[in-house]
Amino acid sequence: MFALTGDTCAASGAYSPTTPIPVPHNIVGLFAFDGGVIGASSAVSVTANHANNSYGAWSDGARSTISLSGPVTITTSGGSSYGFYATDGGAIAAGTITAPDASSITTTGSDSIGVFASGTGSTITINDPSIVTRGLDAPGAVSASGGSVVLSGGSVTTHGDGSFGVAALASGSSISATGTTITTLGNVDVAGVQPVDVWVAGGATATLTNDTLIASGVQGLGVLVEDGGTANLLGDSVSTTGSDAPAVVVNGAGSSAALSGANVLNTAGNGSIGLYAEGGGVINATGPTTISTLGTTSTATGLSAFGVNADGAGSQINLAATTVTTSGGNAFGFYASNGGNITAPDAPSVTTSGNGSIGLYASGGGSTITADGASIITHGASPQRRACRPTPAGS
């Protein structure tokens, strides 16, 4: 179905497009262009399985709108084929706040994004989504170049290696998820692309409220903020199970994460740090934060599963009420390294169990830790401990 300049069309039923639109020759199920409007109050399904670069629903241009208030099922199987696609100011909305109906979006091809808003003013808003991608390097939801994606409830699940859950990329882009479960099941891909639950970069912003983030693959991170991005976490749960998979990473000067409300961070793999600021990144936690790590030292990076690590000049982690528990060897509770700084003025609780796992450890010039009224309990053997030897005869 096409709604071109000034058209208003009503969609219903099933669509299985096989013929490309004249320009730019993509196969599209629902296409609103240059101010066209498509609406649906009943169930709509689109199966766009004919070719690569096919789109389930595409809204292109200012005032172009696709509004689907009934149940929606979108399926694509080609490479670089998107479920929802909003460009150059186009808008797509699915579900309603008062009577939510699941919006099911599934892509199976490589590089096939579930929902993608690109360009200033482009917006995608979905209530109660079920977004699933199965291909390699196939993200669940992306905003780029000033686009915006808003998710309420529901879930985002990616299966392929290198497939991140949701991402906001480039200045002016934003992504918001409230009460959403975001799961990545793949591992790092052959090119080194990591399957991050939430990736924020290039001056973009992500706002995560009462979400559950789960990353199970090798180098599958919970939240990665870099290149001047900003992430806001409010009452979230973040869990990673793979090796070299920190829960929250903020990398680079100008990159920041703000944690408010009660956030819970759990990691299980070797080298998987709870809170990690590096290269001048800044993390500010104003609410209670609970961190648990189970791993020991990574053979790939040499890092252990520290609870909190600020590494490098300008890297700063500011904590409110914080509870940290580490179980693996050499897994320090708080670790300030190479000029990094950690501030925890609200009586933090730090417990370590593994051998060599110091409670608070500052290493390198300019590294500092301030932990007023801290409770520190360590159970493992001290890394400085050495066996006693008898004095040689005749000495």
| Distance from C-alpha of 206 to C-alpha of 204, rounded to nearest angstrom | 7
Q: CB-based burial of residue 212 (10 Å sphere; 0-12 exposed, 13-18 middle, 19+ buried)? A: middle
Going by C-beta distance under 8 Å and a sequence separation of 6 or more, which residues neighbour residue 327? Answer: 292, 293, 294, 295, 352, 353, 354
Contact 185, 203 (CB under 8 A): no
Displacement of CA 214 from its chain's centroid (Å): 9
Which amino acid, one-letter code, is at 5? Answer: T
More confident site: 51 or 127? 127
* Distance of alpha carbon 183 from alpha carbon 140, whole angstroms: 10
* Backbone Cα Rg of the chain: 24
The pLDDT, as a whole number, for residue 114 is: 98
Q: What is the mean pLDDT of residues 181-192?
A: 95
Instruction: Provide CB contacts within 8 A for 312, sequence distance 6+.
Output: 278, 279, 280, 337, 338, 339, 340
Instruction: For residue range 8-35, list pLDDT tens digits in order.
Output: 999 999 999 988 887 777 899 999 999 9
Residue pair 229/253 in contact (Cβ under 8 Å)? The answer is: no
pTM, rounded to two decimals: 0.94
Q: What is the pLDDT of residues 198-212, one digit of tens each?
A: 999 999 999 999 999
> Residue 381 has what pLDDT?
76
Tens digits of residue pLDDT in 335-364: 999 999 999 999 999 999 999 999 999 999
Residues 346, 375, 323, CA angle at the centre, nearest 5°? 65
pLDDT at 110 over 90: yes
| Three-state DSSP state, 380 | coil
Residue 326 clears pLDDT 60, i.e. is over it: yes
Query: Quick one: which of 238, 248, 236 has its CA closest to 216?
Result: 238
Of 90-99, 151-160, 164-173, the range with the lowest mean pLDDT is 90-99
- Pull the structure tokens for residue 175: 């992504």
User: Would you give the DSSP letter of residue 382?
Assistant: P
The whole-angstrom separation of Cα 185 and Cα 176 is 21
Which is nearest to 270 in space by CA: 238, 291, 239, 293? 293
Cβ neighbours of 142 (radius 10 Å): 23
Higher pLDDT, 299 or 395: 299
Tokens (6 digits) for 56: 């389930």
Contact between 195 and 164 (Cβ < 8 Å): yes
Q: How does pLDDT run across 265-297, given as a tens digit for each residue? A: 999 999 999 999 999 999 999 999 999 999 999
Residue 51's pLDDT is 87
pLDDT band at residue 95 using 50, 70 and 90 as cut-offs: confident
In whole angstroms, give the CA distance from residue 181 to residue 197: 10
Please compute the mean of the pLDDT values over residues 96-105 and round it to a whole number: 73
Q: DSSP 3-state assignment of 248?
A: strand
pLDDT at 99 over 60: no
- Average pLDDT value for the chain: 94
Residue 184: how many CB atoms within 10 A of its CB?
35
Distance CA 380, CA 357 (A): 7
